[in-house]
Structure 1
């Protein structure tokens, strides 16, 4: 199994201190978190896309480009790109640029989105969301695989002998299909022989397992090799020395995030941290508990890639770094030993020593401070 860290770049006050980072500092923090992720031996870093408060992730290509300049090995994911509301020509150009800057490390995850803002901002009809997703996806594939594309469809002007530049670094990046609930999204992935990214954050594990089972069944129906179906999973992460400490420290952050109004993701049925940790997909507790829970989820999902989210209600950067260091040192080695690794990526790097990284030590900025020295 491989492991990544993901963020939607939400920018909210710290649930305990009330401190709120400036947008400049929050965005720079994301880059530093990606650098730390690589130093600790994780395999990937993902940036999602949102177009409304409290998120600052409206431009994942820009953020991933900054991360590409500071990293050398980790795969760079979108988690997810809201392809149903975007022009696939622009998507092809932007993300081929990231692929070039990173030396071919881009992995694109597409989704139809579950927030209302993009439909208003980009003049799209939400009733067309699945048709848009399917048409835009087919055009994106052609733009990356063909040098000259002649095309016409329902939702954008036709193209004649169109070439998008730059081209991808070596070959078209892998396209994953992200879904929390939609069987139609995983149907598209199965049709084209693409991997699936299951959110694994809000609903019970059984709901995500049902979605993945449908994907695998349709994958086989389309004649693909069952052994080649790849699945990724997300998950909220908070690790501490023991379960009691983890729950005591993280409960205020989890419950503040769940209580927040008008924020996608707060409609989970698990309203308390105890409920989410005991009965939901949340990965909260000691390293042994977290490893055991991922092993049990692997029985349900058969996933090859596990992403972790350490963003929740303004959790401070220093605490995020502690969680990732502990996870890298005590969770990842066990899971890498026990679980298969079917992803065709370079071998995972060993985790860095537990001492704080130089760049990471500059974070978080002290309250009241703005730009950090370069």
Structure 2
């Protein structure tokens, strides 16, 4: 059972002071967070790609490369790379470089993206949303399998027996599929035999169990061994000294972000009751003491079948010392509880 962190490198206003941290300072903080995650024994750190003012992570591979040079064992992944609006050749080259810097610890998490700012920015038509992803994923996978590539598509110029470099330390470079729970993307990942990451940020995580089973059935149908395919989840959360302190620390920035996104997407107001319901035992917020968060992760592992859990922290802007304390607790207190319980459960 792998446990890690994901971040979008948010730069929203501080809910108490209104101060907005600079993109440069927030990026430097994230590199410190990755270094700490490595030191406390976490397995993976993911940086998501976004192209808007309130996120400083338009280039996750650069951030991950900076951290890769200063860490020893933690795996470094995008979370996600918006492959539909990027070039698969450059994505591969960037992450092959991260792989070299980190001596074989890079991963690509490819997704279509729930934010659409990158499409007009790079000149893509949203009407091609699904087609772009399918075509570019096909090219990316060909590049991971072969040094020289011959490929022809609709939305990108063809490649005729050209070499793509540098080659990564890992062969092949791992590619995961990120999904918000769309059945089509889950089936695609299974048929391709690729690891799956599910973003669970609302509802009840146990409701994703049928999707995991669908994924495994698709993998088996295509001739892949379902038991060999990792399944990860990504959920918002925060680890504090106790349940109530953690909730008080995590709620203000969470409410701000959810209400800002709600204005853009037509959601209703995000209230404290919404927050408290989501942090209940079967809710999608992993907020509380180390024991509480560990119990929720164990429940997720046993009932949904995930093999990797990524805690998204912070959500919005939180004091850096609080974020660092949460990462330390996740690594030193939560992870040992989860690993011990899961190991004992699997031996039965």
TM over 0.5: same fold? yes
Distance 1:7 1:67 in 2: 14
Secondary structure of the corresponding residue to residue 256 of structure 2: helix
Equivalent residue, structure 1, for 2:138:
138
Q: Aligned-pair RMSD on alpha carbons?
A: 2.1
* Residues 94, 45 of structure 1: alpha-carbon distance in 2 compared, 3 angstrom cutoff: same
* Residues 108, 268 of structure 1: alpha-carbon distance in 2 compared, 3 angstrom cutoff: farther
Alignment of 1:240-259 (within 5 A): 240-259=240-259
Distance 2:266 2:41 in 1: 31
Q: Which moved more, 1:285-294 or 1:26-35?
A: 285-294
Q: 1:75 aligned to 2:78?
A: no
Report the structure, 1 or 2, having the larger helix content: 2
* Residues 28, 126 of structure 1: alpha-carbon distance in 2 compared, 3 angstrom cutoff: same
Q: Which moved more, 1:294-303 or 1:33-42?
A: 294-303
Q: Which moved more, 1:215-224 or 1:308-317?
A: 215-224
* Residues 310, 183 of structure 1: alpha-carbon distance in 2 compared, 3 angstrom cutoff: same
Q: Is the 8 A contact 1:15 1:313 kept in 2?
A: no
Distance 2:334 2:165 in 1: 41
Equivalent residue, structure 2, for 1:174:
174
Secondary structure of the corresponding residue to residue 279 of structure 2: helix
Equivalent residue, structure 2, for 1:273:
275
Aligned length: 341
Q: 1:325 aligned to 2:292?
A: no
Q: Is the 8 A contact 1:233 1:306 kept in 2?
A: yes
Alignment of 1:181-192 (within 5 A): 181-192=181-192
TM value normalised by structure 1: 0.86
* Residues 196, 270 of structure 1: alpha-carbon distance in 2 compared, 3 angstrom cutoff: farther
Shift of 1:44: 1.1
Distance 2:254 2:102 in 1: 34
Distance 1:320 1:233 in 2: 20
Equivalent residue, structure 1, for 2:108:
108
* Residues 175, 163 of structure 1: alpha-carbon distance in 2 compared, 3 angstrom cutoff: same
Q: Which runs of 5+ in 2 are unaligned?
A: none
Equivalent residue, structure 2, for 1:211:
211
Equivalent residue, structure 2, for 1:362:
none
Q: Is the 8 A contact 1:83 1:133 kept in 2?
A: yes
Equivalent residue, structure 1, for 2:50:
50
Q: 1:338 aligned to 2:341?
A: yes
Distance 1:222 1:268 in 2: 42
Q: Is the 8 A contact 1:81 1:111 kept in 2?
A: yes
Q: Which runs of 5+ in 1 are unaligned?
A: 342-374
Secondary structure of the corresponding residue to residue 234 of structure 1: strand
* Residues 289, 210 of structure 1: alpha-carbon distance in 2 compared, 3 angstrom cutoff: same
Q: 1:34 aligned to 2:34?
A: yes
Equivalent residue, structure 2, for 1:313:
316
Q: Which moved more, 1:200-209 or 1:219-228?
A: 200-209
Distance 1:102 1:293 in 2: 31
Secondary structure of the corresponding residue to residue 327 of structure 1: helix
Find 2:291's aligned residue among 280, 288, 293. 288
Distance 1:270 1:184 in 2: 29
